[in-house]
Structure formats: structure tokens, C-alpha cells
Amino acid sequence: MRVRVLGSAAGGGFPQWNCQCPNCGALRRGKIKARPRTQTQVIFSPDSKVWFLLCASPDLRQQVLAAPELAPPADRPSPPIGGVFLPNAEVDSVMGLLHLREFQTFFVFATRGVQCVLQRENRIFGVLERANPPVKWQTLSAKGRLGCHMSEDSSGPADFICATVPLGGCYPDYVSEEMLRAVPPEEASIGFVIEQSEKRLFFAPSLSGSSAMWKSEVESADATLIDGTFWSDDELMRTGRSSKSAREIGHVPLSGPGGLLEQFPTKGKGRKILIHLNNTNPILDEDSAEHRMVLDAGFEIAYDGMEFEL
Ligand SMILES: [Zn+2]
């Protein structure tokens, strides 16, 4: 399976349009050794022909245009995008669906809870139904395994498996109280294990800390793309971006007691790659001590254009 990172930043990207934190300010002035990054978007392909999207990033239009493999082939009117997997209903994960609205049909894989939030409470996503045939919603359970096919004909053996892993966490702030009472909490945020030919890719861009089920997946994955949003729990407060801690907005920080670096299983042999990096995160500065520390701990740091084969 081929995997490409089209975007590696958290919400807002890097730099963020309204942010003057040390990272964003220095990047604008050319005073930092760091790469600009668009918002988190990963694509994978079991056969290098049909591609699937993990997340639907707010930057999806520019990301698709920059990925020649996603362009419609000369002999066919439709692009080789088989489907989109949504890990949660956060704006950063779903807004890109609106970029895919041009009368195109494809599969959208999401939990029932995420589907309810998008379909019943956010009517703008109804534009996806204008395609003929309309977009096909596929229901994922918070913990399960789904055989997936690359073609419309799903009678043969699955081309790959998508296993789902509950990551804890909450539904986004914009979801109404009434909807929150109606949707299962465990369906708010899930990770994906994509399995093909005995290779496993684990994608978990948002670790809340309230579930530890991600740990066993890390141990068996050949590559893990995991939540590297914040370095420290008080990062947003110190940079004046928010009065909330990293944990309060659903992300275990990398450093400190109970942080990802401390919790990460030592048994796993696969590549461990940090993704969904917030613009305030000091690991973005390639000359920083924090950048060096994560590399020394055996992690890679995702960047836009990163590509690998499993
Ligand atoms: Zn910033």
C-alpha cells in the first residue's frame, strides 16, 4: 500500500492566518528553520490506482490539485478517489467534503454518530447528495472491522480491511446539546487501522487520553501516524492562543507526565510518525531542543509530501 501525507498540521495550518506565536511569526519573517504545513490530510492506495482519503481537510482543494495521482485520468471523467474516512466530526476533519461537492459520487466512511452530526445538524453537507448517484455513506462502528472494495462490485474478497479503534474524546463544540444526547459518545473519535497484504497502517490524529486502546494497535502496526498536536499541556495558554489546556481540547501532549512520549509502547517495531502538528508546537522548529528530543525518541515528524510504501 502506498501512503502520502498531503497535510500534516493541526487546525489553522502553519502558519495560521491570525497567529503571531513565536513559530508563526518567525516563519513569516523567514527566521526559523521550519516547513509551512497545510491541515492534516493523508491518502493511501492499495494498488496505486484508486486512492482513499483519511480526513477531509479544509485545505483539500489545494492538496488534491498538488497530488497528480488524484487527477482524473485522461480517459475517464472522474478522479480515482474511492472514498473518504472521517475519524471525527471536527471542522478540520470534515470541511474538505465541501471541496468534493462537484456532483461526484464516492463513499464516505464514518460512525453513525458523526453521520448524524453532519447530516441532521449541518444541512450544508446536503450538497453531497446532489451527485447522481449521491454520495454513499458507509457506517463504521467505534470498534469493528470492515472489508472494503476498490470497485463498485463488492462480491469478491475485500481489497483491504478498515479496523476501527475508539480513541475517546468528545464531539465538537458546535454540536447541540440535543444532538449530544442522541449520539453514542464512543463514536465521537475513532482511529483507523488499514490492513492490506499483512501490512498495517494505524492513523490516530486525535488522542484524548481517555482510552488506551491505541497502544496495542501501535504495537502491531507497520507504521503509525499519531497525534503530535502539542508539545506541552499549557502551550496554548503560554502562546496566548486559548485559555484551555491541550488535554481540555482533546489532545494528550507529547511531553510531561502521562504525555505521549512517556506512554508510547516500547514493543512496537513499526515507524512512528507524529502528525496533526499545531503551529505553536516547538517541534516544528528544526533547530529546537524539542525537535531533537522527539527524533532521539525514535519518532519521525510528518511533513506535507511525505510518502512511503508498506
Ligand atoms: Zn502560531
DSSP code string of 149-163: -SSS--SS--SEEEE
Distance 275 CA to ligand 1 centre (A): 16
Distance 76 CA to ligand 1 centre (A): 42
CA gap 137, 153 in Å, rounded: 16
Closest CA to 206 of 1, 36, 54: 54
Closest CA to 60 of 39, 84, 85: 39
pLDDT tens for residues 131-176?
888 999 999 999 999 999 887 777 889 999 999 999 998 999 999 9
**Res 75: pLDDT:** 86
Distance 14 CA to ligand 1 centre (A): 7
Distance 191 CA to ligand 1 centre (A): 26
CA gap 270, 3 in Å, rounded: 14
Three-state DSSP class for 128?
helix
Distance 12 CA to ligand 1 centre (A): 9
Mean per-residue pLDDT, 196-216:
94
pLDDT tens for residues 102-135?
888 899 999 999 999 999 989 999 999 988 889 9
pLDDT tens for residues 260-302?
999 999 998 899 999 999 999 999 999 999 999 999 999 999 9
- Give bridge partners of residue 301 from the DSSP assignment: 274
**Res 45: pLDDT:** 97
Closest CA to 208 of 249, 263, 258, 255: 249
**Mean per-residue pLDDT of the chain:** 95
Q: Is 189 exposed, middle or buried (0-12, 13-18, 19+ CB in 10 A)?
A: buried
Distance 282 CA to ligand 1 centre (A): 10
Distance 276 CA to ligand 1 centre (A): 14
Distance 85 CA to ligand 1 centre (A): 28
Between the alpha carbon of residue 230 and those of residues 143, 146, 158, 187, the distances in Å are: 26, 31, 37, 23
Q: What is the 3-state secondary structure (H, E, C) of 241-304?
A: CCCCCCHHHCCCCCCCCCCHHHHCCCCCCCEEEEECECCCCHHHCCCCHHHHHHHHCCCEECCC
CA dihedral (269, 271, 275, 279) in degrees, to 10, reads 100
Share of the chain above pLDDT 70, in %: 100
CB atoms within 10 A of CB 163: 18
Distance 231 CA to ligand 1 centre (A): 13
**Res 24: pLDDT:** 97
Distance 281 CA to ligand 1 centre (A): 8
pLDDT tens for residues 52-102?
999 999 999 999 999 999 999 888 878 899 999 999 999 999 999 999 988
Residue 46 has pLDDT above 80, yes or no: yes
CA gap 309, 170 in Å, rounded: 32
**Res 151: pLDDT:** 78
Residue 33 has pLDDT above 90, yes or no: yes
Between the alpha carbon of residue 182 and those of residues 111, 136, 139, 159, 179, the distances in Å are: 13, 23, 16, 34, 5
Domains of the chain: 2-150+160-309 (3.60.15.10)
Distance 205 CA to ligand 1 centre (A): 19
Distance 114 CA to ligand 1 centre (A): 29
Mean per-residue pLDDT, 218-227:
98
Distance 20 CA to ligand 1 centre (A): 5
CB atoms within 10 A of CB 306: 17
- Give bridge partners of residue 110 from the DSSP assignment: 139
